[in-house]
Structure 1
Amino acid sequence: MWHDVKLMNNTANALFGMVLFILMMSGVWWVIQRPMFTLTSIRVEGMSSQALKHVNALTIKNSAIPRIRGNFFTANLDAVRGAFESVPWVRKASIQREWPNKLIVKLDEHVVLGTWGDDGRLISVNGDVFTANLAEAEEDADLINLSGPDGSEKEVLTQYQEFKKWFSRINLEPDEVKYSSRYAWSVKLNNGMQVELGRVQDGKTLQDRVDKLMTVYPQLISSLEDSIQSVDMRYPNGLALKSSHSSMGLKKQTKASGKT
């Protein structure tokens, strides 16, 4: 072996290359650990230059900053993004490095639409369910209530938007939309009237039932005025109506026919 000059040269070159690589990596590691690369500034702003309404410095300091590890080079940007997206009201975070010791964080806040279910969670206009201060949400808008089985958030939101369009024909809009565990739909309108629409049988079931209500609604409202409590549209050839007359304190159950 020792008489094989070519093999010895190749072995020496390999060892030399390995030592050089280790020295280079040690030098790089020494450089990136210098104090000048310690993160000293994290700039937080809204995406598209939009001002942040609910996320403030105190919330970030308490919720996100303690979870950030590393310096300019070693900080894991995915982990940093996750830390900021765990902050209440934050929908999405984008992180960039700025030489030599800064991070730029851009946040997209949730725009609240209403509450989801009965456990105090909120739902955004994008159908995202999140947890935040309810009092803050109530300052933003008049909250509607949506509810449904887990995973149905976007379906319920889409159906709410359809209901809003359909009921606008009689100058009403939903205050509450429920999608039950049995996959039945019900709507409470802003005049207090509850509308039971039942389960979907085909792509037009709900719209057909709302259209049927629209047909007889002027007649109902002219005779019963504001005493209608609920309307059940699940009957194939009619509807069930429950009303109360406040001046007499009476309740009655009636049926009105209507064409499907």
Structure 2
Amino acid sequence: MWNNVRQLNIITSALHAALLAIVLSWGGLWLVKRPSFALRALLISGDINHINQTIVRESVLGNLRGNFITLDLDQVRIAFEQIPWIHHVSVRRVWPNKLRVTLKEYKPLGVWNKNQLVSVNGEVFNANQAGSELPVFTGPLESVHTIVTRYYDFRKWFYPLGAKLKEVTLSPCYAWTIKLTNGMQIELGQEHTKDTLASRAQRFVVAWPIVTQRWGSDIQYVDLRYPNGFAIRATGIGFIPSNPKSNKPIL
């Protein structure tokens, strides 16, 4: 081998490459440990309505390991995603010693089954509900998107009544019940066709001026499950079917 010039050249080149790699490795290690690459600032922007410095300090800063170069951005993102209200996180480095974190929060639409929240896009998430005046949605978990869709429909259909939606309930047998902020509870029943609920709501809203003129606006309970009418219960007045021929409600 020692008489083979070609092999000696290959060995020499390999040793030079190995030596260079070691030097670069040590040089890189020395460089990334320089104080100038220590993180100096965490810049947070985007939706920050429900987070503050205390939350970031307790949930994120204590979990960061490394400097500007060695820090794992995925770990930063995951740490922020553990904070309630946070839906999406974007993290990038800002040379030479800063991190830019852009946050997107969930936009709450209602309270889901009393102990969670549901977003405007039908996503269930956990967050503090203190002081919440959001409507309450109740139903099977797999029905959350259906309930959110119907909430928007109910809000539009019953708008002429002059009250907002307070509760939307879908029972285990998929019958709908809503409650308004004026205390009125409305039974809509099951959705047999795509027009069932809309036609029942329209029937009542059209008759609403006549109902209030005759019995006042303090209506406690409305049953829209009748085939050709509805029944109401007002203060001091029992059940009154709007159509005497339709005295039996249907689901």
Corresponding residue for 2:102?
106
Corresponding residue for 2:122?
127
**1:31 partner amino acid:** L
Question: What percent identity do the matched residue pairs reach?
Answer: 38
SS at match of 1:172: coil
- Residues 1:254 and 2:246 are matched in the alignment: no
Corresponding residue for 1:36?
36
Corresponding residue for 1:97?
93
Give 1:64 deviation, angstroms: 1.7
Query: d(CA) in 2 for partners of 1:20 and 1:179?
Result: 70
Check the 8 A contact 2:88/2:105 in 1, yes or no. Answer: yes
**1:63 partner amino acid:** S
Give 1:160 deviation, angstroms: 1.0
Pair 1:181–1:41, CA change in 2 (3 A): same
**1:20 partner amino acid:** L
Give 1:99 deviation, angstroms: 1.8
Corresponding residue for 2:233?
243
Corresponding residue for 2:205?
214
Check the 8 A contact 2:220/2:235 in 1, yes or no. Answer: no
Give 1:170 deviation, angstroms: 3.2
Pair 1:170–1:108, CA change in 2 (3 A): same
Say how many residue pairs are matched.
Answer: 245
TM-score (normalised: structure 1): 0.80
Structure 1 runs (4+) deviating above 4 angstroms are 1-4
Listed as ranges, the matches of 1:1-260 within 5 Å are 4-46=4-46, 52-119=48-115, 121-135=116-130, 137-138=131-132, 142-239=133-230, 241-246=231-236, 252-257=238-243
Unaligned residue ranges in structure 2 (runs of 5+): 247-251
Check the 8 A contact 1:177/1:188 in 2, yes or no. Answer: yes
Give 1:98 deviation, angstroms: 1.6
Moved more, 54-63 or 228-237: 228-237
Pair 1:19–1:183, CA change in 2 (3 A): farther
Pair 1:2–1:111, CA change in 2 (3 A): same
Unaligned residue ranges in structure 1 (runs of 5+): none
Pair 1:234–1:36, CA change in 2 (3 A): same
Moved more, 170-179 or 15-24: 15-24
**2:241 partner amino acid:** K
SS at match of 1:21: helix
Give 1:57 deviation, angstroms: 0.9
